[in-house]
Structure formats: C-alpha cells, structure tokens
C-alpha cells in the first residue's frame, strides 16, 4: 500500500491507463521487494551481531581490558581516514591502556594485543622467544619476490637465513666497508658546501635521503647512483615509492596479511620489484663477467650464493663473540634470497638512517649547548694522528653515541615491534593467556615518551644514556632496534652510517632553527616509519674549519 501511495503522488503527469498499468506491475513485485528487503536487513543484522559479539567480543571473553571498537574497522578508523600515522595511533592506544600489563585493540577484524609491561616484553623477546619468533607480517615469495627477506620471513626459514647472514655484519666486515662510507660522507660535505653558497637555509630531509641512497646503494648493490650530485636517482625514487604505499596496504600487511594472501596482492608493486631485481642481476652479472671483487655487502651475498660461506678476513683479527667470521656450512642461499636481503638492507639503510640523521640535526639545532659539546668531542678526536678511525668512531666517542641514542629515544624510526604467538603462553602473575595466532605490538615510540619511564620526555637529554642512568632504568623500556634473537641484524652498520654523516656535518657546520623550521616536527601520516611529514629546514653556517673524513686519510 505504501508503494502504491508513493506512485500515485509521483504519476500525476501520466495518463490514467499508464498509471494503472504501472501500479499493477508494482503490486505484483511488491512481495518480492519486501522479501528481498527483509533478507538484506536480516543479513546486515547478522553481520552486525557477528562483529559485535563474536569478532569484537574476543578480548571481553578472555577478561583482557580493551579499547571499544567501531564496526567494521575496529580501532583503525583514524588510520584509514588519514587523520594520524600508524605510529601515533598505537601511541594513543598505549596511553589509554598503559596501566594494564596488556591491552587489547582491534585492527579491522583482527584482535591485537599491546604489550605494556617491560616484564612481559622480556618474556616475549627473550625468555619465551621460541613462542613468539614470528613477526606475523605478510610473506609470499611466489607472489611477492621481495618479501623473501629477513624482516618478513617466519619461523625456521628466518632462523636459517639469519645464521647464514650474521657473519656479513661482523666488525671485520664493517671495517672493510668503512672507507667506502667515508668517501660518500665527504661527498655530502662537498655538496652541502655548494648549497650554502647559494642559500644557508637547507632542507635536510631530502639532502640526507640522497646521502643514505648513495651509501646504501653502493654497499648493498655496488652501484654509484650519484644522488648527491644529481639531486636524485632511480634508487631514491624507487625507495620513496616503497615508503609511500597506501595506508590500507600497510595495515593489511602488518595486521591482516591473510587479505593480501587470499587475493594474491603483493606488498611491493611490479615497478618496485622489477627495478630492484633487474639492478641486482645486472650488477651480479657484471661482477662475475669481469671478476670484480669489492669489499661490500653485495660481495658477501655473492660468496653465500656461490659456496654458502664467507672468506676469512686474513688481514683482520676478528673478536666478534658470534665466532662466525667465515660463515656457516648451512648451504648456499638462493638468488631470490640474495635479492631479498639486498632489498631490505637498502630499505633499512635508506629511510631509517636518513630519518635518524635528520632528527639528530633538528634536535641539535634546538639545543645549541648540546651541539657545541658534541662538536668539541669531534674536534678533539679529529686532531689525533690518523684522525677519526673506525675504532675511535665505534668505541671512544661517548657523547656522540649518547646523542645518537637520545635521538632514537625521541624519534625511533620504526614506531613499534610486532610479533605473533605460535604457541599458547601464560603471562606470569596474571590470569591472562596469549593464545596461538595472537598478534602482538610493543609500542616503543610510546614507551620512549612515557614520563613514568623517561621523566620530562620531550626534553632532549643525552645524559639519559650514561652508564649509571641506563643501569638505573628498568630493562626493556628502550628498544629502537628491538631485542633478543630477532633484534635488527644491521645495528652496527646503521650506527656507522649515521655517525659518519653526523661527524662530517658537525665538523663543518653550525645548525640553528629558522622561520621555516617546523616546531614541533610532524610525522608523515601515510608512512609506516616515523619520517617527517614536511621538510626539515635548518640555518646552516660554515664553521672556521673544514674537515673531510676520507681525504685526510689518504
């Protein structure tokens, strides 16, 4: 009847016969429409009830405190709407639930457990590592070749590859790479000199990105891409593409990889994959054809490809406690594994190191007294015979190291650690059980700015990292590189790459804020890492001295 009244009101312009015919037709299909409307309504109701009581009742049924979800996106709405970055969203949730040892949230249909208690963090990363050895990220090497890397790999495949790759990051191998990195550090100073002759307001996000592109493409792929001289390169463009993935794809890869797996969607698109695969194969072919040997990461990968172990460093006395300078007899790595490691090594050294250097300069510009102190330390060691050697940079420059650590406290490159439970695990002194398949997050960006852990957390204070202050702080509250067996394998390389740039820049320039400096700095909302949303502009003035790290050592 309701439908007929609507039609009568709307058909006054039609002829009487036409109106009757239309009304008769609607009368005949009305029961069908009513049935379909009922079925649609019933289906929506069932779906709603399933989300509310089954999917979003997960934490309530287990007695775990949790954030109230919104159907059907859980607690992910601020992320998919582009209002906040993934790191800032997790920081908000940590602050909501930090009074609890664990706190539940939902990302789309997936329950996620935030780990807030340092004792539980130790349980997951160290004591019960075998129950939490997976990151739970998307991995499918048949669909996405580049996912075959140490960061993405699960379980036993990760364990085997980690054992093979560990010898590539010994102090001996890093010392061999040191001159290559120093030369690129000198290029950074030369280019910066050219820039400030035109304008002493320098945008460092792009400049340091070009430095890390040149250094990591040289070490990982053996390519001199000259980003510093040319203003950009194909390496840098493709690196930026990786970190500009849609937030929905990033969230799916981290929190709901099954979605990508079902629809066979790669995390990295064909353009990115083809570039890195082709570049690796081209350089590999050239080196083999011309019998080129270069002391870099690519050379180590070639040795693992060809014979499954590394040559011993006859000219270096290794003191690494891993006692594996010549590799392990665990078999050769595959070509796909070699490409995957070169790719992830490039990504880690490109974006995370770039952000750390940039944020460090930013914080020193805001804190000139700290800047002067670290410059004094650099000047002192520069005067020594032989200048700043690998050993001095690695072991003796204590204040620079504290500045480096404090930068990573305020601005960790990766905002959280993620793990997946592969075996049920009870949390001591609680009634909580972490069930197999549960995804976990440790929000170190939030812990690093928790005033209960780091008093006055917005203050940049390198003295937080004196031996005494580190010893007095509860363990497992500072985790910029992770911890345990699955900690970042390239920690020492990242430190080396960062410190070379900082020493070169602070030896030659003074940095201060200007009208174009964004205070406070904003993190990019679309990025998985905590890269700056906008450029970092600093006033850059030449000091009364010039220091070139590599040329002075010729």
Residue 383 has pLDDT above 70, yes or no: yes
Strand pairing report for 439-442 and 433-434: unpaired
Structure tokens at 523: 């993190």
For 135-174, write each residue's pLDDT tens digit.
999 999 899 999 999 999 998 999 999 999 999 999 999 9
Planar angle of CA 360, 473, 411, nearest 5 degrees = 20
- The residues, any chain, with a CB within 8 Å of residue 456's CB and separated by 6 or more, are none
| Contact call for residues 508 and 543 (beta carbons, < 8 A) | yes
Domain 119-312+329-542 falls in which CATH fold?
Answer: Cytochrome p450 (1.10.630)
| Contact call for residues 284 and 303 (beta carbons, < 8 A) | no
Q: Please report which helix (H) or strand (E) contains residue 372, including its range.
A: helix 368-382
What pLDDT was estimated at residue 327? 47
Q: How far apart are CA 189 and CA 203, in angstroms?
A: 14
443 annotated binding-site participant: no
For 57-98, write each residue's pLDDT tens digit.
999 999 999 999 999 999 999 888 878 888 999 999 999 999
What pLDDT was estimated at residue 434? 96
What are the angstrom distances between the C-alpha of 443 and each of 141, 180, 261, 470, 487?
Answer: 28, 35, 26, 20, 15
Q: How far apart are CA 330 and CA 389, in angstroms?
A: 34
Structure tokens at 149: 């890397």
In the chain, the percentage of residues whose pLDDT exceeds 70 is 89
- The residues, any chain, with a CB within 8 Å of residue 230's CB and separated by 6 or more, are none
Structure tokens at 207: 């400049």
Rounded to 10 degrees, the C-alpha dihedral 203/208/214/215 comes to 170
- The residues, any chain, with a CB within 8 Å of residue 482's CB and separated by 6 or more, are 125, 417, 488
Structure tokens at 87: 């790191």
291-309 mean pLDDT: 92
What pLDDT was estimated at residue 472? 97
Grade residue 36 by pLDDT with cuts at 50, 70 and 90.
confident
Grade residue 323 by pLDDT with cuts at 50, 70 and 90.
very low
Phi-psi group of 391: left, alpha or beta (phi > 0 → left; psi -120 to 50 → alpha; rest → beta): alpha
Q: How far apart are CA 255 and CA 357, in angstroms?
A: 29
Q: How far apart are CA 301 and CA 312, in angstroms?
A: 14
The DSSP call for residue 66 is B
Q: How far apart are CA 301 and CA 288, in angstroms?
A: 13
| Contact call for residues 178 and 499 (beta carbons, < 8 A) | no
Average pLDDT over all residues of the chain:
89
| Contact call for residues 298 and 286 (beta carbons, < 8 A) | no
Each domain of the chain, given as residue ranges in start order, spans 26-55, 119-312+329-542
| Contact call for residues 442 and 377 (beta carbons, < 8 A) | no
- Note the pTM of the prediction, 2 decimals: 0.89
533 burial (CB, 10 Å; 0-12 / 13-18 / 19+) is middle
**534 compared with 328, residue with greater pLDDT:** 534
Provide the H-helix boundaries in 199-246: 204-221, 227-230, 234-242
Grade residue 526 by pLDDT with cuts at 50, 70 and 90.
confident
């Amino acid at each position: 009847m309701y439908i007929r009244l609507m039609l009568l009101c709307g058909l006054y312009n039609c002829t009487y016969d036409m109106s009757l015919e239309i009304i008769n037709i609607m009368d005949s299909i009305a029961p069908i429409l009513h049935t379909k409307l009922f079925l649609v309504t019933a289906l929506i109701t069932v779906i709603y009830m399933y989300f509310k009581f089954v999917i979003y009742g997960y934490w309530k049924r287990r007695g775990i405190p949790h954030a109230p979800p919104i159907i059907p996106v859980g607690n992910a709405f601020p992320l998919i709407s582009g209002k906040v970055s993934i790191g800032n969203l997790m920081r908000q949730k940590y602050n909501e639930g930090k009074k609890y040892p664990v706190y539940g949230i939902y990302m789309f249909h997936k329950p996620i457990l935030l780990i807030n208690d340092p004792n539980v963090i130790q349980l997951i990363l160290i004591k019960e590592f075998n129950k939490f050895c997976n990151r739970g990220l998307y991995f499918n090497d048949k669909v996405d070749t580049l996912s075959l890397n140490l960061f993405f790999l699960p379980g036993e495949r990760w364990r085997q590859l980690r054992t093979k790759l560990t010898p590539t990051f010994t102090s001996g191998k890093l010392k061999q790479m040191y001159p290559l990195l120093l030369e690129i550090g000198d290029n950074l100073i030369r280019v910066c000199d050219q820039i400030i002759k035109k304008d002493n307001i320098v945008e460092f996000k792009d400049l340091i990105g070009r430095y890390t592109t040149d250094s990591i493409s040289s070490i990982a792929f053996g390519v001199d891409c000259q980003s510093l001289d040319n203003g950009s390169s194909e390496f840098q463009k493709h690196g930026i593409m990786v970190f500009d993935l849609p937030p929905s794809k990033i969230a799916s890869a981290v929190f709901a990889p099954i979605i990508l797996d079902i629809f066979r969607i790669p995390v990295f698109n064909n353009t990115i994959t083809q570039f890195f695969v082709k570049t690796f194969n081209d350089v590999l072919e050239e080196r083999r054809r011309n019998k080129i040997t270069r002391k870099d990461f690519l050379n180590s990968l070639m040795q693992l490809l060809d014979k499954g172990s590394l040559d011993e460093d006859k000219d270096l006395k290794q003191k690494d406690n891993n006692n594996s300078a010549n590799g392990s007899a665990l078999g050769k790595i595959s070509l796909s594994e070699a490409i995957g490691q070169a790719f992830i090594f490039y990504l880690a050294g490109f974006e995370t190191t770039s952000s750390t250097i940039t944020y460090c300069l930013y914080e020193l510009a805001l804190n000139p007294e700290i800047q002067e102190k670290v410059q004094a330390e650099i000047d002192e060691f520069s005067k020594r015979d032989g200048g700043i050697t690998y050993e001095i940079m690695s072991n003796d420059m204590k204040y620079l190291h504290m500045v480096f650590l404090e930068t990573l406290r305020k601005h960790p490159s990766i905002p959280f650690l993620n793990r997946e439970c592969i075996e049920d695990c009870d949390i001591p002194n609680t009634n909580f059980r972490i069930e197999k398949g549960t995804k976990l997050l440790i929000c170190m960006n939030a812990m690093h700015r928790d005033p209960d852990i780091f008093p006055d957390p917005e203050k940049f204070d390198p003295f937080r990292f004196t031996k005494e202050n580190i010893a007095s702080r509860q363990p497992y509250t500072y985790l910029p590189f992770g911890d345990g067996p699955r900690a970042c394998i390239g920690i020492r390389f990242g430190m080396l790459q960062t410190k070379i740039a900082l020493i070169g820049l602070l030896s030659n320039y003074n940095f201060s804020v200007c009208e174009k400096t964004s205070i406070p700095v904003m993190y990019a909302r679309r990025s998985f890492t905590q890269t700056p949303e906008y450029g970092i502009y600093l006033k850059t003035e030449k000091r009364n001295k010039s220091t070139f790290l590599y040329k002075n050592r010729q």
